[in-house]
Amino acid sequence: MRRLLREPLFHFLLAGIAIFALAGRVGGGSDSAGQRIVVDDVTVANLVTGFERTWMRPPTPDELSGLVEDFVKEEILYREALALGLDRDDVVIRRRLRQKMEFLQADMADRGEIGDAELLAFLDENPERFEVPASVTFRQIFVDPQRSNGAPEARAAEILALLQSDPDAAGQPLGDATLLPPILRRATPRVVSGQFGPGFFEAIAELPAGSWAGPVPSTYGLHLVLVDELEPSRRPELGEVRPAVERELRAVRRSEAGERFYRQLRERYEVVIEDVGPSTASP
Q: What is the pTM of this model?
A: 0.53
Which pLDDT belongs to residue 9? 41
pLDDT category at 54 given cuts 50, 70, 90 is very high
The reply to whether 80 and 137 lie within a common domain is no
Determine whether 140 is exposed, middle or buried from the number of CB atoms within 10 Å of its CB (0-12, 13-18, 19+).
buried
Identify the band that residue 18 occupies on the pLDDT scale cut at 50, 70 and 90: very low
148 in any annotated domain: yes
Q: Determine the distance from the C-alpha atom of residue 65 to the mean position of all C-alpha atoms in its chain, rounded to a whole number.
A: 40
State the chain's mean pLDDT as an integer. 80
Specify whether 227 is located in the same domain as 138: yes
Classify residue 161: in a domain, yes or no.
Answer: yes
What pLDDT shows up at residue 257? Answer: 85
pLDDT per position as a tens digit, 207-240: 988 888 889 998 898 999 999 999 888 888 888 8
Q: Considering its fold, how many domains does the chain have in total?
A: 2
> Do residues 122 and 248 lie in contact, with contact meaning Cβ atoms separated by under 8 Å?
yes
Kindly state the average pLDDT of the residues 247-274: 84
Query: Could you tell me which of 279, 141, 281 has the C-alpha nearest to residue 222?
Result: 141
Any domain includes 274 = no
**Quick count: other Cβ atoms within 10 Å of Cβ 49?**
11
Confirm whether 139 is domain-assigned. yes
Determine the average pLDDT of the residues in 125-129.
87
Instruction: Kindly state the average pLDDT of the residues 114-129.
Output: 88
Q: Residue range 51-73: average pLDDT?
A: 93
Asked whether residue 137 falls in the same domain as residue 227, the answer is: yes
- Give the confidence band of 34 by pLDDT, cuts at 50, 70, 90: low
Average pLDDT over residues 163-183: 80
| pLDDT of the residue at 186 | 92
Q: Does residue 113 lie within any of the structural domains?
A: no
Asked, for residue 31, whether it belongs to a domain, the answer is no
88, 117, 151 - which closes a domain: 88
Residue 97 lies in a domain: no
pLDDT at position 17 is 41
165 in Cβ contact with 212 (< 8 Å):
no
pLDDT at residue 19 is higher than 70: no
Write the Ramachandran bin of 114: left for phi over 0, alpha for psi from -120 to 50, otherwise beta.
beta
- Percent residues over pLDDT 70 in the chain: 83
Per-residue pLDDT at 38 exceeds 70: yes
Whole-number pLDDT of residue 156:
87
- Domain at 150, CATH number: 3.10.50.40
For residue 137, what pLDDT is reported?
94
6, pLDDT greater than 60: no
Cα angle 266-268-274, degrees, rounded to a multiple of 5: 65
Q: What's the confidence (pLDDT) of residue 279?
A: 54
End of a domain among 201, 216, 231?
Answer: 231
Structural domain includes residue 126: no
Note the pLDDT tens digit of each residue in 67-112. Answer: 999 999 998 888 888 888 888 878 888 888 888 888 887 777 667 7
* Residues spanned by the domain of 161: 133-231
